[in-house]
Amino acid sequence: MSGGAGRDAPRARVVLVAGLARDGTIGKDGGIPWRYPEDMRAFRAATTGTVLLMGRRTLDSIGRLLPGRETVVLSRDPEGVRARWPGAHAAASLDEALALAARLAAALPGEPVVSVLGGGEVYALALPRADELLLTYVPEAGGGDVAFPAWDPREFEEVARETLERVERVRYRRRASAGHSSL
């Protein structure tokens, strides 16, 4: 635990943002084997004004901090992350990372939102804490080596769907009756 991030942290809406191939895989060989400008524009719009939370391997694969947004990186070596990525925040547990991200989000205008950007390990860890899933379905068959975690469609309801040229973008919200473990 570093920095006391877990204490008095405000609550933020937690949104898992991911792109999925038809077989549910999200990456291969440390990268994402597709690129859709229409999805990237929507991604930028959806994550602007939010705080980003991602795993160390995902940040390595992106290769830069995304501009205009604070980034919290989950790593068992947060000092190493901060040394390698000046300007990044880092935390050694999901609880600490979420608390830190929520605190950063509370300082921004509007409703505080934390966008969880993966990868597979971090999505799986954060799924029980997710208020929303914002999933882009791409037309690729898949065959990747990292997948989005299995989730129960009874726990989330679809609240928005849009087709952006070649991809389908769907927002799911956790049903109030489904219980919630993010407090």
**Any contact of residue 112 with ligand NAP (CB under 6 A)?**
no
User: Which of 8, 37, 68, 76 touches ligand NAP (CB under 6 A)?
Assistant: 76
What is the DSSP secondary structure assignment for residue 39, as one 8-state letter? Answer: H
User: Which of 5, 16, 27, 169 touches ligand NAP (CB under 6 A)?
Assistant: 27
Site for ligand NAP in 89-108 (CB under 6 A): 92-93
Cα angle for residues 39, 40, 46 (degrees, 5° grid): 85
Q: What are the backbone angles phi and psi of residue 22, rounded to the nearest 5°?
A: -65, -30
**Any contact of residue 146 with ligand NAP (CB under 6 A)?**
yes
Interatomic CA distance for residues 18 and 26, integer angstroms: 8
Binding segment (CB under 6 A) for ligand NAP, from list 8-16, 25-33, 157-165, 167-175: 25-33
Interatomic CA distance for residues 122 and 127, integer angstroms: 8
4 or 30, CB closer to ligand NAP? 30
Encoding tokens for residue 121? Answer: 């390990």
Encoding tokens for residue 131? Answer: 């208020």
Site for ligand NAP in 34-73 (CB under 6 A): 55-58, 61
**Any contact of residue 32 with ligand NAP (CB under 6 A)?**
yes
Pairing of strands 132-137, 167-174: antiparallel
Q: How far is the CB of 12 from ligand NAP (least distance, A)?
A: 19
Encoding tokens for residue 24? Answer: 């549910």
- List of residues contacting ligand NAP (CB under 6 A): 18-19, 26-27, 30-32, 55-58, 61, 74-77, 92-93, 117-122, 125, 146
